[in-house]
Amino acid sequence: RSENAFFLFRRKWFEDYRLKRDLASKSASASPSAPIKKRRKVNRLSKTIARQWKSLSTEERQYWERLAKEKKK
């Protein structure tokens, strides 16, 4: 199943986020409560991404729609 425009946008956002995070901090130790903290963090990030998606201009959104159509072919 091909990804829709939002999922392409979300994947790119997470790639950029991880790159910035990795550059800022080369190593981080995991604590016993890391999975719970990670889930909460992902939930917050997902809400942030959704807000950014909703605030995209028509032109920006059309870019992602075109990309999704191309991937679907």
DSSP state at residue 33: T
Q: What is the pLDDT of residue 39?
A: 79
Q: Where are the alpha helices (DSSP H) in the chain?
A: 5-24, 34-54, 58-72
Give the global pTM: 0.73
Instruction: Domain ranges for the chain, please list them.
Output: 5-71
pLDDT at 48: 94
Q: Report how far residue 35's alpha carbon sits from residue 54's, in angstroms, rounded to the nearest whole number.
A: 29
Q: pLDDT averaged over consecutive 10-residue blocks of the chain (73 residues)?
A: 92 89 66 70 90 97 96 87
**What pLDDT, on the 0 to 100 scale, is given for residue 17?**
87
End-to-end CA distance of the chain: 11
Residue 54 pLDDT: 97
